[in-house]
Amino acid sequence: MHSDIAAMPESVAHVERSELLSESDLAPVIVVGAGPSGLRCVEELLRHQLKRPVWLFGEERWEPYNRVRLSSLLAGDIRLSDIDLRLSARSMSRVVHVSQCRVVAIDPALRQITDQYGRRHSYHKLVLALGSSAYIPSVPGVQLKGVYSLRSLSDTEALLARRARVRKLLVIGGGLLGLEAAKAMARDGTEVEVIQQASHVMNRQLDQRGGERVSDYLRLLGIRVRLGSGLAEIRGDTEVSSILLRNGTEIPCDSVLLAAGIVPNVELARSAWIKVGRGIRVDDAMLTSDPDIYAVGECAEHNGHVYGLVAPGLEQAAVAAAHICDEGALYRGSMMASQLKVAGLAVTSIGSWEQLEGQTRVNELVFSDQQHYRKIIMRDGRLLAVIAVGEWQEKNRLLEAVTTQRYLWPWQRLAFRRTGLLWKQEESRQVSEWPADALVCQCMAVPRGTLSSTIDGGATTIEALAACTGASTVCGSCKPLLAELIGAPRKADPIKAGPSHTAWGIAALILTTLLTVAPAIGVKDSVQNLWPPDFLWRDSLYKQISGFTLLGLVLVGLALSLRKRVRFFSVGKGARGAFDYWRLAHVILGVLALFALLIHTGIALGHNLNRWLMMDFLAAAALGALTTYVIAWQHRMGRQLGERVRAWMYWLHIVVLWPLPVLLGLHILSVYYF
C-alpha cells in the first residue's frame, strides 16, 4: 500500500514528505519522473489546490536537474548548482518526494505501481513523465570502453572523468546535442570530429544553407565535420581504437560519443498493456488508453507527434494537471520552435518548414550576409515558418508571428530583403506590448500575460519572476526580456487635461459636420431675403477680416505643431505634460479656425477651387479632431492598440493637410488677381 514507503531504510530510498500528507487516507496522485515535465505537473497540481497527496518518484541519485544545460556543465561554463530544478521549499512541504527509486511495474486494474524494491503503492491518478533515453545504434562495438552518450548527469560525470585522457573524439550525430557536446569536448588539445549521416548538420532545424553556415562556424572552432555517411562499426579489443563508416572509411579515435537522437521511454507503459507507438499514445487531455493514467513530455505521443523538446512537455504537464483537477483543459499540439545557442552560435527554427517546401502558394524570402542567414516562409502573405543562423533581435516576436500566422505587408517583405528585419527596431523590443499569449520564456512556456500579472502581484525582480513562473530557469536567454518587462510601465499614462482635449475635439467634429452637411446661410439669391448678418458675406472689408483671421489662426496652429518636431520652435526640454498643453492649444486654435471658416463662408462649400479648398480643410480638421480623441483615450485602449491607431490618424491628418497651403495660396491669388 502507499504507506509502505515509510518502512524503507535511508539506504534504499530517500523520501521527503510532510506529516499531513503521510497521514492522509486518500490515495495520492503519483508522478513518475522528476524531470522538467514531471516537476511542472506537480507544481500545477499544487497550484490547482488539489485536495489529495502528491507523490513524485525519481530514479536518479541526483536532485532534479535541467537536462538541457548538461553540455554547458560539460564545457565548464556553469556549475552543478546552476542546473538545479528542485521544487521550492513551500512546494516540497506538500509533496512526498521519493528519489533514487525506480518504478518497475504498473497494475492498472488495481491502480497500483511497484517500485524496484518490490513495494506496491496505490494511486488515484498516475502521470508518466518518463522522458527518453539516448539512441544507441545496433552496430558492433557499442559496448566497448570509451563509448559514451550524453543524456543524464551521470553521463556527464563519466565524460568529465574521461576528458583528461581523450586525444581524438568522434561525435556520432550532427544534431543540437552532438554539436554542443563537440564544442564542450574540443578543449585542452582534444581533436573532435562530428560524423553526420545527413547532407548537413542540424537537418531537423535548418535547411541546407543554414546547415552549411553552422558547419563553417564549427570548422573555425577547430571541429571537423564529416557529412553523408553513418556509423557501421566501432572497432577495438577492449577499448575503442577506430570506427568504420558505411562508405568504407575507417577513422582512428580513442573515444566515441553517441548523440544520434533519442528514444522515448515506453517499456513501463508497454508492459502494462497501455497503447504505445513511437511514444505513449495520449489524447487531447494527455490521457493514455487507461482512463486513470496520463503521459507527458518526451515519452508522450500526441496525434503522431513526439516532440522531444522541453516547452511542449511543460504545456502537456499543465493540461494533465488541470484535467486531474476536473478542469476542462485540452492540448492541441505545440509549435515546433527552437531558439538556442549551438556551440555559441545562435540558431532559430520556428514552424514545420520542411513540410511547406514545394507546396502551392508557398514562397520564401532570404536575407544573407557574412554574419547572418535568415529565411521566412509564407503562404498567401502569412508567416508560417522561420529559419535563421546568427543573432536576430526579433526572434521572440517571430514566435508570436508564426503562431498567429501574422500577415506580412509588402513593405515588411521589402524591408526584410534589404535589412533582414521585419519590424522597426523599437517595435521588436517592446515586450510589454506583445499579446498576452505570446511566449517570453520558450523553455518553460511562460507567456507575457502570466509574467505581467505576476509583476503586478509584486514580483519586481528577475529572481522573483523565476521563482513564481519558472521563466529564465532553463537556458536563461530570456533574462533581458524579463528585465525589460519589469521596467516597462504596465499601462499608458493618461495625458494632461484629457477631458479638455476630448471636449474641444468633440467641438471640432461638430463644427466640421455642420460645415459639411448644413445648408448655406450666407449670400442670399435676392436682396429681398437679406437678414442682419448678411453683411459678413457681402461687404468685402468684413470678408477680408474673416479671411485673414482664418489665415492667421491656421498659420499659428501650424507653428504650434512644429514645436515638437523642429528644434528651433522647441521651448526648452520641459516635461511631457507641457507638450500636452501645447497640443491642447493647437486643438483650440483648430476649433477657432473652424468658427472663422463658418463666418467667412456662411457654410457655403463653393465651387471648383474653393470647393477643393473647403473639403481639404474640413477633412484635415476632422482627422485632427479624431486624433485628439484617440490621444485623450489612448490609456484606456491599451498602449499597443492606442499607439497604432494614433500613428495612423496622425499620418492621415498630415497627408490630408499637405495640399492645404497650395490650395490656400491659389485661392488668395485668384481673389486678388481677378
CATH number where 474 lies: 1.10.10.1100
What per-residue confidence (pLDDT) applies to 309? 84
Query: CA-to-CA distance for 201 and 484, rounded, in angstroms?
Result: 34
* Half-sphere exposure (Cβ direction) of 282: Cα atoms closer than 13 Å: 34
Three-state DSSP class for 148? strand
**Residue 257 near residue 178 (C-beta atoms within 8 A):** yes
Query: CA-to-CA distance for 540 and 99, rounded, in angstroms?
Result: 99
Report whether pLDDT(205) > 50.
yes
- pLDDT greater at residue 445 or residue 286: 286
Pairing of strands 168-172, 255-258: parallel
Residue 368: pLDDT band (50, 70, 90) is: very high
- pLDDT greater at residue 68 or residue 348: 348
| 408 and 434 in a common domain | no
- pLDDT greater at residue 621 or residue 579: 621
Report whether pLDDT(197) > 80.
yes
Residue 524: pLDDT band (50, 70, 90) is: low
Residue 572: pLDDT band (50, 70, 90) is: very low
| 514 and 662 in a common domain | yes
What per-residue confidence (pLDDT) applies to 387? 94
| 377 and 275 in a common domain | no
The domain that contains 366 carries what CATH number? Answer: 3.30.390
Report the share of the chain in percent with pLDDT over 70.
83
Of 215, 232, 260, the last residue of a domain is 260
Is 462 among the domain residues?
yes
Beta strands, E only, 198-332: 224-227, 231-235, 242-245, 250-252, 255-258, 262-264, 280-282, 293-295, 300-302
Name the residue among 329, 333, 377 with its Cα closest to residue 356: 377
**Residue 266 near residue 290 (C-beta atoms within 8 A):** no
Of 324, 340, 373, the last residue of a domain is 324
| 653 and 546 in a common domain | yes
- pLDDT greater at residue 24 or residue 1: 24
Three-state DSSP class for 178? helix
Helix residue spans in 141-252 (DSSP H): 153-163, 176-185, 208-220
Identify the bridge partners of residue 258 per DSSP, sorted by sequence position: 149, 172
Name the residue among 434, 445, 533 with its Cα closest to residue 484: 434
**pTM score, whole prediction:** 0.68
Is 442 among the domain residues?
yes
What per-residue confidence (pLDDT) applies to 118? 94
Is 141 among the domain residues?
no
Is 127 among the domain residues?
yes
| 165 and 127 in a common domain | no
| 180 and 64 in a common domain | no
What per-residue confidence (pLDDT) applies to 328? 77
Residues 84-96: pLDDT tens digits? 887 776 677 788 9
What per-residue confidence (pLDDT) applies to 11? 37
Is 339 among the domain residues?
no
- pLDDT greater at residue 16 or residue 616: 616
| 386 and 447 in a common domain | no
As a whole number, the mean pLDDT across the chain is 82
Of 260, 284, 313, the last residue of a domain is 260
What per-residue confidence (pLDDT) applies to 58? 92
- pLDDT greater at residue 16 or residue 586: 586
Name the residue among 175, 157, 342, 341 with its Cα closest to residue 258: 175
Name the residue among 197, 200, 191 with its Cα closest to residue 169: 191
Is 138 among the domain residues?
no
The domain that contains 108 carries what CATH number? Answer: 3.50.50.60
Q: How many domains does the chain have?
A: 5
Name the residue among 165, 182, 174 with its Cα closest to residue 240: 165
Report the share of the chain in percent with pLDDT over 90.
38
Report whether pLDDT(73) > 70.
yes
Query: CA-to-CA distance for 95 and 88, rounded, in angstroms?
Result: 11
Residues 383-412: pLDDT tens digits? 999 999 999 888 777 887 888 888 999 999
Query: CA-to-CA distance for 659 and 638, rounded, in angstroms?
Result: 33
What per-residue confidence (pLDDT) applies to 231? 95
Residues in Cβ contact with 61 at an 8 Å cutoff, skipping those fewer than 6 apart: 99, 100, 154
Report whether pLDDT(531) > 60.
no
What per-residue confidence (pLDDT) applies to 265? 96
Report whether pLDDT(611) > 70.
yes
- pLDDT greater at residue 82 or residue 420: 420
Question: Which pairs from 115-118 meet CB under 8 Å and 24+ separation?
Answer: 115/13, 115/57, 116/59, 117/8, 117/12, 117/13
Query: CA-to-CA distance for 592 and 553, rounded, in angstroms?
Result: 7
- pLDDT greater at residue 198 or residue 645: 198
Question: Which pairs from 642-650 meet CB under 8 Å and 24+ separation?
Answer: 642/492, 643/492, 649/623
Three-state DSSP class for 115? strand
| 86 and 229 in a common domain | no
| 435 and 417 in a common domain | no
Residues in Cβ contact with 313 at an 8 Å cutoff, skipping those fewer than 6 apart: 36, 37, 40, 129, 296, 297, 298, 300, 307
Q: What is the mean pLDDT of residues 629-657?
A: 70
| 591 and 503 in a common domain | yes
What per-residue confidence (pLDDT) applies to 10? 38
Q: Which domain holds residue 202?
A: 147-260
| 359 and 269 in a common domain | no
Beta strands, E only, 271-396: 280-282, 293-295, 300-302, 337-342, 345-350, 362-368, 373-379, 382-389
Residues 32-56: pLDDT tens digits? 999 999 999 998 999 888 989 999 9
Residue 642: pLDDT band (50, 70, 90) is: low
| 290 and 161 in a common domain | no
Report whether pLDDT(345) > 80.
yes
Is 276 among the domain residues?
yes
Buried b or exposed e, range 316-334, using 16+ CB within 10 angstroms: bbbbbbbbbbeeebebeeb
What is the helix (H) or strand (E) element at residue 641, kind and residue range? helix 639-657
Is 493 among the domain residues?
no
Residues 143-172: pLDDT tens digits? 999 999 988 899 999 998 888 889 999 999
Report whether pLDDT(480) > 80.
no
